[in-house]
Structure 1
Amino acid sequence: MSRHGILLALAAGALVLSAPLAARAPETRAAVKAQKPTLGTFGIDLAGMDTAVAPGDDFNGYVNGQYVRKLEIPADKASFGMFHVLHDLSQERTKGIVEAAAAAKGARKGSEAQKVGDFYSSFMDEATIEKKGLAPLKTHLDAIAAIKDPQGLALAFGKAMRQGMDLPVGMSPMQDLKNPAIYSVYVGQGGLGMPDRDYYDVKIEKFKEIRTKYQAHLAAMLKLAGLPDAEARAKAVYDLETKIAASHWTKVQSRQVDKLYNPCKVDELDAKYPGVDWKTLLASVGVASQKELVVTTPSAIEGAARLMASEPLAVWKDYLTVHTLKGAAAFLPKAFVEENFAFNGKVLMGQPEMQPRWKRGVDMTTAVLGEAVGKLYVAKYFPPEAKKQADALVQNLIAAFDQHLANLPWMDAKTKAEARTKLAKFTPKIGYPSKWRDYSRFRVERGDALGNAMRAADFEYQRNLDKIGKPIDRSEWGMTPMTVNAYANPLWNEIVFPAAILQAPFFDPKADPAVNYGAIGVVIGHELSHHFDDQGRKFDKDGKLSDWWTPEDVKRFTALTEKVVKQYADYEPLPGTKVNGELTLGENIADLAGLTMAYDAYHRSLKGKPAPVVGGFTGDQRFFMGFAQVWRTKYRDAALLNQLQNDPHTPGHFRPAVVRNLDAWYEAFGVKPGQKLYLAPADRIKVW
């Protein structure tokens, strides 16, 4: 499994942060008008509202209706909203940085400038890529064709893992969940060419067309590689993946982090998971010296191991061939690029057009050399003052959360004290890393696009492998400064907000404080609360997976979260497909908690004074409008179906509905019984 596979099962990313709110006194109407925020006169795009919609019937429609109605999703996107607006801005800015590096003369060989420039320029050199054809991949394809026995298959699996391929038996080092002072090697499920096990289930009718088109896609990739009998071989690979999927854990099962920790002695692997040449596989991956592994999905690994022994070797070879082609497609000739997009972009996401090559090149370069590019990005686009303001805002939200914990009626006093200690030990990371990544061992050659990508994958794998036996490096980041997102890492008891998310509409230093609290303030509270959601709560103040809540606390908390599951499971973004309340539980708890904490933090910032009326709206109205404005989003149907099936986040246009749980929202907008979002006071969910 990928290094971040477990983190994604329990930690969240989706929202973000920016600058000052905490220390700012209430502003007068004149002061606000004297400034020029990015949106409107005080931070809200009033022209994007639809005031014909009653807030109590559709709060998202009220705040965002006109904007979304007029919004056309760009042809190279599957959905579009505020995150995409900022991502496009980040891409444009990063483009200038990488193109300057590519055009520079005389960069020292081995320097970061040389690596950034040559990686980008090599990807952009389509003529050379076309001329080389499949030649750069020939050695790898020939090695697969030469596999003659189970030992050779295990050896090939190990090599593919080091190249970043997602395999039925995946392996990667990561911090130990129950001993946060060390790194362990984890083994987990993978190996599917479609997003999830359910896509292979013939009983799920809505994926029937996708299944048919996926088989055609596999055949097309094999044909492009010049292999005979492509349709029959593609069908055999598809059937193999269907068998792999049958033993996969579901997305909901994989969220239960305590179930993902299953240590297994290396000398017991053959007995517990027969069918794999474990000795060869561990040696090929580079972890032969390990005495113990942590298996995350035991039944899935057992099923995959059994298939490695029972299924024909020829089918496994075709499986590795087609997945090697798919993994390398972005760096291969145009025919491979277009075929890969035809399925992954058009079929799975409903995206009509591929992104321009320069955008793909920027994304590829930042994925590989993100912190080398990030140094230049931060120096140009993230002033030190923004970081100071963001730090202050985070501390204000922590104080709000602490106050809620102190007064929480349903939590035992001992657990409450431990929770407050955990909160006090949080590490906020704002903008960019304190220590930049070392790329000195990564070699980049101009004109060798695929070779650069493969060396990048091996470099990253070895970088993580080298952590084993060494102290935990808590300065490391899981996102680049150019990323428009944020995340919570329960293993390190930290929240992380990259520089690119610290701008309007999430934060605008010239906007009204109420709007900022509703936008970035909620994001901060959202990420903080992930450490106490249904999975984050299972980690103690030191990031250790442990049972530190009393059984009574767990019971009372579960009773509350079951209400959250039920509330969201009633939402139906697509006809016949509702939100999975269990899959999205952590994110929905975080939205509710973030909104609650940010609202209280906003009112504390007023220091007992009444909020001014700005633009005809009260402070509370502007707070809730600032929150909803962040979620201006429009989806293509295929992309929305994909998100509902696979993503732990509720679709963006349904997220503003969480306001229906806060009494203050009802008072701010005069919401009455009979309106669609109205909940009786007793039915409004209050977790934190």
Structure 2
Amino acid sequence: MMKHILTGAGLASMACFMACNEGQKNAAATTPTPDAVAANVDSTIHPAQDFFDYANGGWIKRNPIPAEYSSWGIGNLVQEELYKRLRIINEKAVENPTDATSKKIAAFWKSGMDSVKINADGIKPIEATLRAIDAVTNIQQLIQLSAKEHNRTGVMCDMYIGQDAKNSEAIIVQFSQGGLGLPNRDYYFNTDDRTTKIRQAYPAHVAKMLEFTGLDSNAAKTAAASVVQLETMLAKSSRKLEALRDPEANYHKMAVTQLNKIAGSVDWTDFIKQQGISKFADTVIVGQPEFYTTLSDALKSQPLDTWKNYLKWNLISSAAGTLSDTIANTSFAFYGKLLRGQDKQKPRWKRVLDSEEGAMGEALGQLFVKEFFNATAKKRYENLVEEIRGELKTRIEHLDWMSDSTKAKALYKLSKITKKVGYPDKWKDFSAMDIKDQSYYQNVDAARQWWLNYQIAKLGKPVDRTEWDMTPQTYNAYYNPSNNEIVLPAGIFTVPGKRDEELDDAVVYGYAGASTIGHEITHGFDDEGRQFDAAGNLKSWWTKEDEKKFNDRAAVMVQQFNGYVVVDSLRINGKATLGENIADLGGILLGWEAFKKTEQYKKNEKIAGYTPAQRYFMGYSLGWLGHTKKESLARQVLTDVHSPAKFRVNGPFSDVDAFYEVYGIKPGDGMYRADSARVHIW
């Protein structure tokens, strides 16, 4: 994934999976495990017709989606391994806390697992804030309270602290659109049956949640209707998913006094200071100014009671997971079951671990890497990064559509990409995080406050380019354009049940080299990443002619993915997913060229009945092994810049000439695209 330039670090855990593999070592020594890719094949499907179903279909048929999940795949398999290990770490910390960190781990775990106390407390943890909302008598008081509660609720808008896109050496306060209870603006306006059903159910859900705050059923229904009407106003001025991918169009640096002019209902200097930010320049970055104008107008036009109920709704919704089972289950019924298709919640212990990962996952990560990611594995993937970098260098040098001047700058940027592999060299210090013997809500809140203070402390200081925004055990990776870096946590290289040394190069070059390393490097040159220079600044470094040629070639990919129907009548949004689709294709091409130089490719000896070349493409497909419920697929199409897994295999493969050669793809096959319709960028 590409780290979105509008994303700041905080408590909210990234939607990713954690992984480990070396725990299988002893069992693997005595019990052979199935081949990493051959075991997943569905031999009833021809690879030329649907490669994803061919490569992964056997596993999918044997592994239905569990009731507590909306999808099930390789990420979940490695997650399950780690869940068990993290539970042991937490339970040992409870039995025998040996240092300050283990004491915090123990306190967090005990508070989250104490369902008797959590259920007995009910709404108690947020009662003081509810009373404060009830005490508000004018809009200015409400704005001040909203500012104080913003770190808990994200009410009204999105404010965060992060690198200046046009001056990557500076940390600055930034604002973007937000304040919606549905996943994004399209849920308020789309007319397809699935989205309409969700929108129609939404007011009743808001009403149920407001009843927990003390409103009777009739008052709650009336309040919910006004809250949804207010959110719809904000949604009208919110940009679509694809529009948010244009970094230049979403960059508006201005004095706070100018923000006060376009959104004058709020004293934005005071709004910032109410969150504990006393030291900041009088300049901010606003992503979508029109949203703030609408927000300001709504603060004037909408009744005070509507805003108070809106704040109550945001408070109860954001806190639901830390409150009683009744409240948490009501929230899950809408966001988990209706929106994602989960039939039941994960057990409490897994939910607590998910929360703990967001609160202090890096502390757990220190324990993880000591046991599950050795120096040999780290070196293997560091070397692979350099091989992939070398292949992109060669491809850039031989591009027939790019001018020499742009090539020189592209090669310079490539040479400056920093690689971070496995785990950070410097760990975060959580000693000031106030985790102790208190309620689960209070511990989660203490973690939120620590993360806010952590971000505030960055203001006015040099950017720490050694920092990681993912934990080592994360089954994911990212490219950060502001640092011009790829970050590859140890977890992303895991194949469930396999030690690293058991994996042949064909699988590794497809699974890690293509779908991860090559993918992330290519992000530096996708439709968004290419707009940042070698130092991480949003700055044009292309000639106008080269920029047009790039956009023309990218338009072919937009058209290709616009044609894929995912569920019902919903199609992939080719513009919104363009960056990820470009990165997928680039990763496959780079991984393939690097793999062709290995001894395994040259010897061309079969393993488990498959040639090295076949295993390379199967290895890439392994990275997307899994299946997803329709409800979650529909949500992904509307809210995610990543295409669904199946199309991350079949889509780019149909643009790769080597794939046609290896599998003999010909006109009329399901995977075939005419050469004129194939994407040729990097």
1:140 CA drift (Å) = 1.1
Q: If the length of structure 1 is used for normalisation, what is the TM-score?
A: 0.92
Q: Distance in 1 between matches of 2:170 and 2:330?
A: 43
Partner in structure 2 of residue 286 of structure 1: 276
The letter for the 2-side match of 1:617 is Y
Q: Secondary structure at the match of 1:306?
A: helix
In the alignment, which residue of structure 2 is the partner of 1:400?
391
Q: Quick one: which amino acid aligns to residue 169 of structure 1?
A: C
Moved over 6 A (4+): 12-19, 34-38
Say whether residues 1:529 and 2:519 are aligned partners: no
Residues in 2 aligned to 1:617 and 1:481: alpha-carbon distance in whole angstroms: 33
Summarize deviations over 1:35-71 as a string: whole Å, max 9, x none.
9998634x3234x312232211111122122222232
Q: Relative to structure 1, is the Cα distance of residues 145 and 104 closer, same or farther in structure 2, using a 3 angstrom cutoff?
A: same
**Which of the numbers 558, 564, 568 marks the counterpart of 1:565?**
558
User: Offset of 1:500 from its aligned partner?
Assistant: 1.5
**Please, which moves more after superposition, 537-546 or 278-287?**
278-287
Q: What letter corresponds to residue 673 of structure 1 in structure 2?
A: P
Residue 549 of structure 2: aligned partner:
556
* Contact 2:173 2:284 (8 Å CA) reproduced: yes
Q: Give the aligned partner of residue 114 of structure 1.
A: 103
Q: Distance in 2 between matches of 1:607 and 1:342?
A: 51
Higher alpha-carbon deviation: 672-681 or 537-546: 672-681
2-structure distance, mates of 1:571, 1:624: 21
Find the aligned partners of 1:281 and 1:135 in 2 and give their Cα distance. 27
Quick one: distance in 1 between partners of 2:400 and 2:84? 49
CA–CA distance in structure 1, aligned partners of residues 15 and 611 of structure 2: 31
Give, in angstroms, the shift of residue 264 of structure 1. 1.3
Q: Letter of the 2:197 partner, please give it.
A: E
| Structure 1 residues 592-631: aligned runs within 5 Å | 592-606=585-599, 609-631=602-624
Answer whether contact 2:203 2:225 (CA < 8 A) is retained: yes
State whether residues 507 and 519 of structure 1, in contact with CA within 8 Å, keep that contact through their aligned partners in structure 2. no
Contact 2:262/2:292 (8 A) holds in 1: no
Please say if 1:666 is aligned against 2:656: no
Residue 183 (structure 1) aligns with: 171
What is the alpha-carbon distance in structure 2 between the residues aligned to residue 182 and residue 681 of structure 1?
A: 45
Question: 2:347 aligned with 1:356, yes or no?
Answer: yes
| DSSP-derived class of the 2:248 partner | helix
Which residue of 135, 142, 150 corresponds with 2:131?
142
Q: Deviations over 1:222-271 (max 9, x none)?
A: 11222131111111111111111111011111111111110111122222
Pick from 382, 389, 396 the counterpart of residue 391 of structure 1. 382
Q: What is the CA–CA distance in structure 2 between the aligned matches of 1:432 and 1:185, rounded to whole Å?
A: 28
Q: Which amino acid aligns with 1:594?
A: G
User: 2:671 aligned with 1:684, yes or no?
Assistant: no
Q: In percent, how many aligned pairs have the same letter?
A: 35
Relative to structure 1, the CA distance from residue 61 to residue 216 in structure 2 (aligned partners, 3 Å threshold; closer, same or farther) is same
CA distance in 2, matches of 1:244, 1:679: 42
Is 1:155 aligned to residue 144 of structure 2?
yes
Does the 8 Å CA contact 1:415/1:550 hold for their aligned counterparts? yes
Distance 1:432 1:507, change over 3 A: same
Q: How many residues align?
A: 664
Are 2:270 and 1:276 equivalent residues in the alignment? no
Residue 684 of structure 1 deviates from its aligned partner by: 2.3
**Which residue number in structure 2 is paired with residue 451 of structure 1?**
442
| TM-aligned CA deviation for residue 484 of structure 1 | 0.9
Indicate the larger mover: 88-97 or 433-442. Answer: 88-97
Aligned pairs (5 A) from 1:132-531: 132-163=121-152, 165-201=153-189, 203-228=191-216, 229-287=219-277, 289-504=280-495, 508-522=500-514, 523-531=516-524
Q: Determine the C-alpha separation between the residues in 2 that align with 1:231 and 1:384.
A: 59
Deviation at 1:458, TM superposition (A): 1.4
- 2:95 aligns with one of 103, 111, 123: 103
For residues 592 and 559 of structure 2, the distance between their equivalents in structure 1, rounded to whole angstroms, comes to 24
How far apart in 1 are the matches of 2:90 and 2:478?
Answer: 26
Residue 296 of structure 1 and its aligned partner are, at CA, apart by 0.5
Separation of aligned partners in 1, 2:630 and 2:79 = 21
Q: Find the residue that maps to 2:647 and give its secondary structure.
A: helix
Q: Which amino acid aligns with 2:267?
A: D
In structure 2, what residue type is equivalent to 1:6?
Answer: L
Distance 1:87 1:298 in 2: 40
Distance 1:471 1:36 in 2: 52
1:155 Cα deviation after fit: 1.0
What secondary structure does 1:259 align onto?
coil
Q: Which amino acid in the other structure matches residue 446 of structure 1?
A: D
Residue 672 to residue 38, structure 1, CA distance change in 2 (3 Å): farther
Q: Aligned partners of 1:13 and 1:182: how far apart in 2? A: 27
- TM-fit CA distance, 1:669: 1.1
The offset of 1:354, in angstroms, is: 0.2
SS of residue matched to 1:185: strand
2:574 to 574, 581, 588: 581
Structure 1 residues 37, 245: CA separation in 2 closer, same or farther (over 3 Å shift)?
A: farther
Matches within 5 A, 1:650-665: 650-657=643-650, 658-665=652-659
- Letter paired with 1:618: T
1:466-504 superposed Cα distances (whole Å, 9 cap, x missing partner): 100001011111111121111110111111111222211
Cα distance in 2, alignment partners of residues 457 and 317 from structure 1? 23
TM-score scaled to structure 2, two decimals? 0.93
Q: Deviation at 1:606?
A: 3.5
- Residue in 1 that maps onto 2:25: none
Aligned-partner SS, 1:650: coil
Looking at structure 1, the residues matched to 349 and 15 of structure 2 have their Cα atoms a distance apart, in angstroms, of 26
- Contact kept in structure 1, 2:665 and 2:672, CA below 8 Å: yes
8 Å Cα contact 2:19-2:82 kept in structure 1: no
1:608 to 1:230, Cα distance in 2 relative to 1, 3 A: closer
Using the alignment, how far apart are the partners of 1:37 and 1:15 within structure 2?
27
Q: Distance in 2 between matches of 1:296 and 1:56?
A: 44
- Is the CA contact (8 Å cut-off) linking 2:91 and 2:106 kept in structure 1? yes
The CA distance in 2 between the partners of 1:152 and 1:560, in whole Å, is 53
- Gap change, CA 1:471 and 1:563, over 3 Å in 2: same
Does the Cα contact within 8 Å between 1:167 and 1:189 map onto a contact in 2? no
Distance 1:680 1:36, change over 3 A: farther
Tell me which of the two structures has the higher relative contact order, counting C-alpha pairs closer than 8 angstroms and 6 or more residues apart: 1
Q: 1:240 to 1:36 in 2, by over 3 A?
A: farther
Residues 102 and 121 in structure 1, CA contact (< 8 A), matched pair in contact too: yes
Structure 1 residues 39, 176: closer, same or farther in 2, change over 3 A?
farther
Of 167-176 and 74-83, more deviation after overlay is shown by 167-176
**Cα separation, 2, equivalents of 1:67 and 1:660:** 23
Cα separation, 2, equivalents of 1:36 and 1:247: 61
Q: Distance in 2 between matches of 1:35 and 1:131?
A: 49
Shift in alpha-carbon separation, 1:477–1:643, aligned structure 2, 3 A: same
Aligned CA RMSD, in angstroms, stands at: 2.3
Deviation string 1:318-367 (CA, Å, 9 cap, x unpaired) is: 11111101111111111111111111100100100100000001111111
1:17 is displaced (CA, Å) by 11
